[in-house]
Every structure is written in C-alpha cells, then in structure tokens.
Amino acid sequence: GVGVILKAEHMCMAMRGVQVPGVITTTATMRGVYADHDRTAKAEFMEAIKNV
C-alpha cells in the first residue's frame, strides 16, 4: 500500500489577498492496504510518520 500526506505553506494566502503568513494546507491519500478497512495498517502508518 501507499500513504501520502503532503503539508505545504499556502503562499498565495501569505503574499496577496488576506496576507496571512504561516497558513498550512494538508492533503492526504491512502491506497492499497492503508485505504482498506484494515485500520491497523493505517494506524501504524500514521504512528510511523507522526514526528516527521
């Protein structure tokens, strides 16, 4: 399976418009064993990346 969690600073919020620096956007997707109903695999994945 594959799990991807992407965190990035939302630069258009920081540089123009509302001008709020430090706005973080998070996108996540799970495939294979992580997306299945086996919550153990997903929980292990989330625990492994908790401090990354």
pLDDT (0 to 100) of residue 4: 93
Looking at the structure of the chain, the number of domains it has is 1
Q: Encode pLDDT of 4-52 as tens digits.
A: 999 988 777 667 767 777 788 889 999 988 888 778 888 888 899 888 7
Q: Which domain holds residue 28?
A: 2-48
Give the pTM: 0.63
Backbone angles phi, psi at 20, to 5 degrees: -110, 100
